[in-house]
Amino acid sequence: LKVDASPQLARQIPDTLFGIFFEEINHAGAGGIWAELVSNRGFEAGGRHTPSNIDPWSIIGDDSSIFVTTDRTSCFSRNTVALRMEVLCDNCPAAGVGIYNPGFWGMNIEDGKTYNLVMYVKSLETVELTVSLTSSDGSQNLASATIPVSGASNWTKLEQELVAKGTNRTSRLQITTNKKGVVWFDQVSLMPSDTYKGHGFRTELISMMLDLKPRFLRFPGGCFVEGEWLRNAFRWRESIGPWEERPGHFGDVWHYWTDDGLGYYEFLQLSEDLGAAPIWVFNNGISHNDEVDTAAIAPFVKDVLDSLEFARGSSESTWGSVRAAMGHPEPFPVKYVAIGNEDCGKKFYRGNYLKFYNAIREAYPDIQMISNCDASSRPLDHPADLYDFHVYTDSKTLFSMKNTFDRSSRSGPKAFVSEYAVWRSDAGRGSLLASLAEAAFLTGLEKNSDVVWMASYAPLFVNNNDQTWNPDAIVFNSWQQYGTPSYWMQTLFRESSGAMIHPTTITSKYSGSLAASAITWQDSENSFLRIKIVNFGSDAVSLNVSASGLPATVNTVGSSATVLTSGNVMDENSFSNPNKVVPVKSQLPNAAEQMQVMLAPHSFTSWK
Residues pairing with 132 in the sheet:
144, 174
- Contact range with ligand AHR by CB under 6 A, out of 201-209, 217-225, 423-431, 562-570: 217-225
- Contact range with ligand AHR by CB under 6 A, out of 216-224, 227-235, 345-353, 356-364: 216-224
Nearest to 288 by CA among 327, 236, 338, 252: 252
Q: Which is nearer to ligand AHR, 177 or 395 (CB)?
A: 395
> Min. distance of Cβ 507 from ligand AHR in angstroms?
38
The rounded distance, in Å, linking the Cα atoms of 138 and 175 is: 11
The rounded distance, in Å, linking the Cα atoms of 585 and 483 is: 17
- Contact range with ligand AHR by CB under 6 A, out of 139-147, 221-229, 235-243, 307-315: 221-229
- Judged by CB under 6 A, does residue 459 bind ligand AHR? yes
- Judged by CB under 6 A, does residue 222 bind ligand AHR? yes
C-beta neighbour count of 126 within 10 angstroms: 12
The rounded distance, in Å, linking the Cα atoms of 503 and 61 is: 71
The rounded distance, in Å, linking the Cα atoms of 75 and 62 is: 28
Interface positions, 356-415, toward ligand AHR (CB under 6 A): 390
> Min. distance of Cβ 334 from ligand AHR in angstroms?
20
Give how far Cα 47 sits from Cα of 135, 225, 258, Å. 29, 17, 10
Q: Which is nearer to ligand AHR, 3 or 375 (CB)?
A: 375
Nearest to 591 by CA among 548, 545, 552, 551: 545
> Min. distance of Cβ 432 from ligand AHR in angstroms?
21
The rounded distance, in Å, linking the Cα atoms of 232 and 534 is: 42
Q: Which is nearer to ligand AHR, 106 or 221 (CB)?
A: 221
Q: Which of 110, 245, 273, 342 binds ligand AHR (CB under 6 A)?
A: 342
Interface positions, 22-61, toward ligand AHR (CB under 6 A): 23, 25
Q: Which is nearer to ligand AHR, 213 or 288 (CB)?
A: 288
> Min. distance of Cβ 466 from ligand AHR in angstroms?
14
> Min. distance of Cβ 421 from ligand AHR in angstroms?
8
The rounded distance, in Å, linking the Cα atoms of 107 and 133 is: 9
The rounded distance, in Å, linking the Cα atoms of 268 and 213 is: 17
Q: Which of 192, 221, 248, 471 binds ligand AHR (CB under 6 A)?
A: 221
Residue whose beta carbon is closest to ligand AHR: 222
Q: Which is nearer to ligand AHR, 76 or 280 (CB)?
A: 280
> Min. distance of Cβ 442 from ligand AHR in angstroms?
17
Q: What letters, b where the CB count within 10 A reaches 16 and e where it falls short, cover 16-50?
A: bbbbbbbbbbbbbbbbbbbbbbbbbbbbbbbbeee
- Contact range with ligand AHR by CB under 6 A, out of 220-228, 288-296, 473-481, 551-559: 220-228
Q: Which is nearer to ligand AHR, 169 or 390 (CB)?
A: 390
**DSSP string spanning 125-154?**
S-EEEEEEEE-TTS-SEEEEEEEEE---SS
Q: Which is nearer to ligand AHR, 468 or 556 (CB)?
A: 468
The rounded distance, in Å, linking the Cα atoms of 172 and 170 is: 7
Q: Which is nearer to ligand AHR, 19 or 313 (CB)?
A: 19
- Judged by CB under 6 A, does residue 259 bind ligand AHR? no
Q: Which of 341, 393, 496, 504 binds ligand AHR (CB under 6 A)?
A: 341
End-to-end CA distance of the chain: 15
> Min. distance of Cβ 418 from ligand AHR in angstroms?
8
Q: Which is nearer to ligand AHR, 197 or 255 (CB)?
A: 255
Q: Which of 127, 458, 515, 564 binds ligand AHR (CB under 6 A)?
A: 458
Residues pairing with 59 in the sheet:
99
- Contact range with ligand AHR by CB under 6 A, out of 67-75, 142-150, 219-227, 536-544: 219-227
C-beta neighbour count of 575 within 10 angstroms: 13
**DSSP string spanning 495-560?**
TTTT-EEE-EE--STTGGGEEEEEEEEE-SS-EEEEEEEEE-SSS-EEEEEEEES--TT--SS-SE
Amino acid at 382: H
> Min. distance of Cβ 388 from ligand AHR in angstroms?
9
Nearest to 540 by CA among 598, 608, 460, 477: 598
Count of residues engaged in binding ligand AHR, rule: CB under 6 A: 12
Interface positions, 466-525, toward ligand AHR (CB under 6 A): 469
Instruction: Name the site residues for ligand AHR (rule: CB under 6 A).
Output: 23, 25, 221-223, 341-342, 390, 419, 458-459, 469
